[in-house]
Amino acid sequence: MNSKFKFPVVLYPILLALALFLLDKIFFLPVIVENTYSWKKIERKFYELKEDLFEVMLAEQQKNPSKQIGLILGSSRSGEFDSDMLESFFPNTNSFNFAAPFGPPSFQAYWLERTLNSKLPLRYVLIEVDPLLFSQSAIDYSLNGSYDNGYVLSHIDLYRAKNKNPWASNANGFSTDEVEVYFLKKLFALYKYPLDPTAIKANNKEIEVGFFPGMSVGITGKDHKRNYIDKIKMVNRVKFGALPNEIKFANMDVFLERDAEAMYNQYLRGQSLAPTQVYFFKKMLQLLEGTGIPVIIYFPAVSDALRKRMSRDGLLENFNSEIIKAVEKAKEVPNSKFTVVDPNVDPRWVCKDFVDSLHLSGACFPNLLPILFPKEVR
């Protein structure tokens, strides 16, 4: 009688899948990521390092319990605002900047909720809103592991009915497709960091000076990225998350017009706004209703070229009116302090130099501050 054990054939596919799953985890190792994932893609780190900023905020509050907290939520266009800059507007307040590239309402709501749950003494909240941040593309930016699993699982929208009007949608969190993408990126390294052979070469090649092709700066792409990540961590501690806009020049109108068209085509053409983002924006309003905390809803300053492009099909006007309608409803709750600010239509905004169609020159921010933080919210 043959007593040799025969391995069940049916288990081979399972073992193969398990082996591939474990092999995939190698590509999560930092040393692998910095060699295989393009050094130019830094956006994800801005999202991930907000956890570091949150820890800094908790430590600072424990160290200086008499100081209040200012919370800045938005995109890279709000990344300039730092605590020192806002000291004259909000004395005895540490302002923490949680802005991230294309930081959408879902990401803003996540940090607002965590801050409120930590019982921190909020002096004010600045919330940036515009059609780009409500687009599906903005969600894609933030689904790279920026939330914690519990938050995503507690905000699954399982039964969302289709509705052409995102403002009238019955959205109740992240769609099932968005949750699927989030966990795929959480579980599979090659889904989060697709293997790119050209990136491996570029990451280990010395960077060229932008204005002098062929002339290197003496460090590789991955070294540059590593240094930039260290800079973000340092900024979290020194400027509480704000990154000074060191670009002070203004670009030509013809460039701004081309860039505005490109931005519109890439993120907004043929797309309706994401119901998920409408839901999280309204959730933020609900979280802040009746709290007595001054809340500034801020339409970011953008170039005239981009405003005209978004206005051409009525997108901008409809978006702004829906935002104002939602804020007015929230203001009906007693002890609610909401202010809508739009520097784009404010005659006091005169410094209109733009680096690209989205980003104001760093030299213009001092002109913007008194408009964003009027006396009634201080």
* For residues 286-312, average pLDDT: 94
Token digits of residue 117? 């749950």
d(CA 179, CA 191): 14
Q: Residue 6 pLDDT more than 80?
A: no
Q: Residue 367 pLDDT more than 50?
A: yes
Percent pLDDT > 70 in the chain is: 93
Percent pLDDT > 90 in the chain is: 55
364 confidence band (pLDDT: 50, 70, 90): confident
Q: What is the pLDDT of residue 215?
A: 47
d(CA 291, CA 293): 5
How many residues would you count in the chain? 378
What phi, psi does 218 have (nearest 5°)?
Answer: 90, 0
List the beta strands (DSSP E) in the chain: 68-73, 93-97, 122-128, 156-157, 174-175, 206-209, 212-220, 294-298, 337-341
Express each pLDDT in 92-132 by its tens digit.
Answer: 999 999 999 999 999 999 999 999 999 999 999 999 999 99
Q: What is the pLDDT of residue 208?
A: 67
Which residue in this structure is represented by tokens 């989205």?
358
Closest-CA residue to 28 (of 181, 145, 189, 187): 189
Q: Is the separation of the CB atoms in 134 and 105 below 8 Å?
A: yes
What phi, psi does 362 have (nearest 5°)?
Answer: -60, -25
d(CA 37, CA 222): 9
- The CB density around residue 199, as the number of other CB atoms within 10 Å, is 20
* For residues 162-182, average pLDDT: 90
Q: What is the pLDDT of residue 60?
A: 95
Segment holding 208, helix H or strand E: strand 206-209
Q: Determine the 3-state secondary structure of 52 from DSSP.
A: helix
Token digits of residue 267? 């993120």
List the beta strands (DSSP E) in 87-181: 93-97, 122-128, 156-157, 174-175
54 confidence band (pLDDT: 50, 70, 90): very high
Average pLDDT along the chain: 88
| DSSP, res 272 | P
Judging by DSSP bridges, how do beta strands 93-97 and 337-341 pair with one another? unpaired
d(CA 140, CA 277): 12
Tell me, rounded to whole angstroms, the distance of Cα 128 from its chain centroid: 10
Q: Residue 157 pLDDT more than 70?
A: yes
Q: What is the pLDDT of residue 212?
A: 42
Top pLDDT among 127 and 165 is at 127
Q: What is the pLDDT of residue 91?
A: 92
pTM of the model: 0.91
Q: What is the pLDDT of residue 104?
A: 95
Q: What is the pLDDT of residue 261?
A: 94
- Lowest-confidence pick of 11-15, 107-111, 161-165: 11-15
Q: Is the separation of the CB atoms in 169 and 160 below 8 Å?
A: yes
Q: What is the pLDDT of residue 211?
A: 42
Q: Is the separation of the CB atoms in 322 and 370 below 8 Å?
A: no
Classify the C-alpha dihedral 209-357-279-335 as positive or negative: positive
Q: Residue 23 pLDDT more than 90?
A: no
323 confidence band (pLDDT: 50, 70, 90): very high
Express each pLDDT in 193-249 by its tens digit.
Answer: 888 888 888 888 887 655 444 445 678 888 888 888 999 999 999 999 998 766 666
Classify the C-alpha dihedral 19-20-25-26 as positive or negative: positive
Q: Residue 7 pLDDT more than 80?
A: no
Which residue in this structure is represented by tokens 């003494």?
121
* For residues 287-305, average pLDDT: 95
Token digits of residue 377? 């919210």
Q: What is the pLDDT of residue 316?
A: 93
Q: Which amino acid is present at 202?
A: A
Dihedral, 124, 42, 105, 170 alpha carbons, nearest 10: -170
Give 68-82 as a 3 state SS string. Answer: EEEEEECCHHHCCCC
Q: What is the pLDDT of residue 200?
A: 86
Q: Residue 42 pLDDT more than 90?
A: no
